[in-house]
């Protein structure tokens, strides 16, 4: 089978790596790819945001399946465009992708379908948000969110009314998140432990992947700015079999049923970001795609062939499939460019990747890298993902950090507390 994979991050390198192990794969086109090298794989220079370009390339090359990594092309309707060409696609259509593309849509959807989440209020102008705030007598913190896609950065935790007023001004008056902030969602603050649960979905049925824990803040002890994700481990000991069953029954299945009642078939990965509260798991956010870096922790533990699973989701029938998972634990450490998640330089030379890859149980997935004249250079904020597998999390953690120390580029930084004390 020929596959076209969209996206150029660590998540996509992990997908390419796993797909390349499938005996069913004959060719993998990777648009645009990165500095990671994968057998049977050819880079195609089209960016994920160029949905017209992707659709035109697919219409010409007729892959058996298109696998979409990032959210932006899904929110722009790439799945609908490919379906119109008669091409199978792994990733939800535009209507279903609104679960990620609009936080207001996601909250209203949860309310309509009785899916547990925090209480919320939504506003489309600063005046209305401010008058609501003046009369608000409830507890703080409050969580302010720009409605649209903001690369994980459009969320503000406000500890009192003056911080909330300032938050409203930054989102709605100064428009710091651009058009994503045209609508503002204010949520009650939830307390507990966060986990990410990802599910393969065929529109009706879902197969859960083992829960992973992501580290979103830039610095150790969860300090610093929000990022796309600085590390992860899998599985999360907090999510028992019973809790997985609860998440499937109360969250994932109601999403699929709700979507189909509203006229959309959810096919692809549904990612539920959950807070494990005293009164059970509650939805913090939905994503309509694999998580990054959760995928880099989850896929190396999948013993089954990934390709038939993605194909079954795209065809709308997962019923004959079962997934098997390795007993090992995995830990991912994300190596970042100087300045990330703010501005960062590009083009710095990277050394030591081959040495790191020789370490026991270690894989290195590329994210913001490119190859130029035989050299490997940085080309993004999150540069490399060092993944280690071992029989327990503590050993996987030690292996990942030892391997990370073998890699060098100027200004490189990473969190030192991924999977610590768990
Ligand atoms: P989101 O992009 O909606 O997942 O939000 C980013 C991060 O903000 C989450 O991973 C949480 O750490 C935090 N967060 C979001 N919503 C809430 C909430 N209602 N209560 C507490 N923390 C939240
Ligand atoms: N790791 C968070 C995300 O993929 O959105």
pLDDT, the chain, mean? 96
Burial of 138 (C-beta count, 10 Å sphere; 0-12/13-18/19+):
exposed
Determine how many CB atoms are found less than 10 A away from the CB of residue 165: 16
Q: Which has the higher per-residue pLDDT, 94 or 152?
A: 94
Q: Which residues line ligand 2 (CB under 6 A)?
A: 152, 214, 229, 287, 291-292, 294
- Position 150 scores a pLDDT of 84
Give the residue, 338 or 156, on which the prediction is more confident.
338
Coil vs helix vs strand at 124: coil
**Cis? peptide before 341, omega within 30° of 0:** yes
Residues 6 or more apart in contact with residue 44 via CB below 8 angstroms: 4, 29, 30, 31, 32, 33, 57
Q: How far apart are CA 212 and CA 256, in angstroms?
A: 21
Q: Assess whether pLDDT exceeds 90 at residue 297.
A: yes
Per-residue pLDDT tens over the stretch 185-239: 999 999 999 999 999 999 999 999 999 999 999 999 999 988 989 999 999 999 9
Q: pLDDT per residue over 36-76, tens digit each?
A: 999 999 999 999 999 999 999 999 999 999 999 999 999 99
- Ligand number nearest CA of 70 is 2
Distance 229 CA to ligand 2 centre (A): 6
Q: What is the pLDDT of residue 201?
A: 98
Query: Which of 291, 296, 365 for a ligand 2 pocket mutation test, highest count of atoms within 8 Å of Cβ?
Result: 291
Task: Tell me the sheet residues that pair with 187.
Answer: 120, 143
Does the CB atom of residue 187 touch ligand 1 within 6 A?
Answer: yes
- Is 229 near ligand 1, meaning CB less than 6 Å away? no
Q: What confidence tens digit (pLDDT) does each residue in 327-374 have?
A: 999 999 999 999 999 999 999 999 999 999 999 999 999 999 999 999
Whether the CB of 294 sits within 6 Å of ligand 1: no
Specify the length of the chain in residues.
Answer: 422
Tokens standing for residue 335: 């190596």
* 290 Cα–ligand 2 center, Å: 8
Q: Does the C-beta of 140 come closer than 6 Å to ligand 1?
A: no
Whether this model's pTM surpasses 0.75: yes
Instruction: Give the pLDDT confidence score for residue 153 in this predicted structure.
Output: 74
More confident residue, 175 or 112: 112
Nearest-CA residue for ligand 2 atom 4 is 291
The structural domains of the chain, ordered by start, are: 2-91 (3.40.50.20), 119-188 (3.30.1490.20), 193-315 (3.30.470.20), 329-404 (3.90.600.10)
Q: Could you please report the per-residue DSSP string of 218-277?
A: EEGGGEEEE-S-SEEEES-TT--HHHHHHHIIIIIHHHHHHHHHTT---EEEEEEEEEEE
Packing angle, helices 94-101 and 103-112, rounded to 10: 100
* Nearest protein Cα to ligand 1, atom 3: 285
CA gap 385, 403 in Å, rounded? 11
Structure tokens at 236: 């999360």
What is the number of the ligand 1 atom nearest to the C-alpha of 145?
Answer: 3
Q: What is the pLDDT averaged over residues 110-115?
A: 98
The radius of gyration of the chain's CA atoms, rounded to the nearest angstrom, is 21
Q: 155 C-alpha to center of ligand 1: Å?
A: 7
């Amino acid at each position: 089978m020929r596959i076209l994979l969209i996206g150029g991050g660590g998540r996509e390198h992990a997908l390419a790596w796993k797909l390349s192990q499938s005996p069913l794969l004959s060719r993998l086109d990777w648009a645009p790819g990165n500095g990671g090298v994968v057998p049977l794989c050819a880079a195609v220079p089209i960016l994920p945001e160029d949905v017209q370009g992707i659709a035109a390339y697919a219409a010409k090359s007729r892959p058996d399946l298109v696998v979409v990594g990032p959210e932006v092309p899904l929110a722009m309707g790439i799945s609908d465009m490919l379906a119109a060409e008669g091409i199978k696609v792994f990733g939800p259509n535009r209507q279903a992708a609104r679960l990620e593309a609009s936080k207001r849509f996601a909250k209203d959807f949860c309310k309509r379908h009785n899916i547990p989440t925090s209480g919320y209020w939504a506003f489309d102008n600063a005046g209305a948000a401010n008058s609501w705030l003046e009369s608000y007598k409830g507890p703080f913190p409050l969580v302010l969110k720009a409605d649209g896609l903001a690369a994980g950065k459009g969320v503000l935790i406000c500890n009192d009314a003056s911080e909330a007023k300032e938050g409203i001004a930054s989102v709605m008056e100064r428009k710091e998140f651009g058009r994503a902030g045209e609508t503002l969602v204010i949520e009650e603050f939830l307390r507990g432990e966060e986990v990410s649960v990802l599910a393969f979905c065929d529109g009706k049925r879902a197969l859960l992947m083992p829960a992973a824990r992501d580290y979103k803040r830039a610095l150790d002890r969860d300090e610093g700015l929000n990022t796309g994700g600085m590390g992860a481990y899998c599985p999360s000991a907090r999510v028992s079999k019973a809790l997985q069953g609860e998440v499937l029954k109360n969250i994932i299945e109601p999403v699929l049923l709700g979507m189909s009642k509203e006229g959309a078939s959810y096919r692809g990965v549904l990612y539920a970001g959950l807070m494990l509260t005293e009164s059970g798991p509650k939805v913090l956010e939905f994503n309509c795609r694999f998580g990054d870096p959760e995928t880099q922790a989850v896929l190396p533990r999948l013993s089954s062939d990934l390709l038939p699973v993605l194909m079954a989701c795209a065809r709308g029938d997962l019923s004959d499939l079962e997934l098997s998972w390795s007993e090992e634990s995995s830990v991912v450490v994300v190596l970042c460019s100087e300045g990330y998640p703010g501005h960062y330089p590009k083009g710095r030379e990277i050394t030591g990747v081959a040495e790191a890859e020789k370490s026991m149980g270690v894989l290195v997935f590329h994210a913001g890298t490119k190859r130029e004249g035989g050299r490997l250079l940085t080309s993004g904020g999150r540069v490399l993902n060092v993944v280690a597998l071992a029989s327990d999390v503590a050993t996987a953690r030690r292996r990942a950090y030892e391997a990370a120390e073998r890699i060098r580029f100027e200004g490189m930084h990473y969190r030192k507390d991924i999977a610590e004390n768990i």
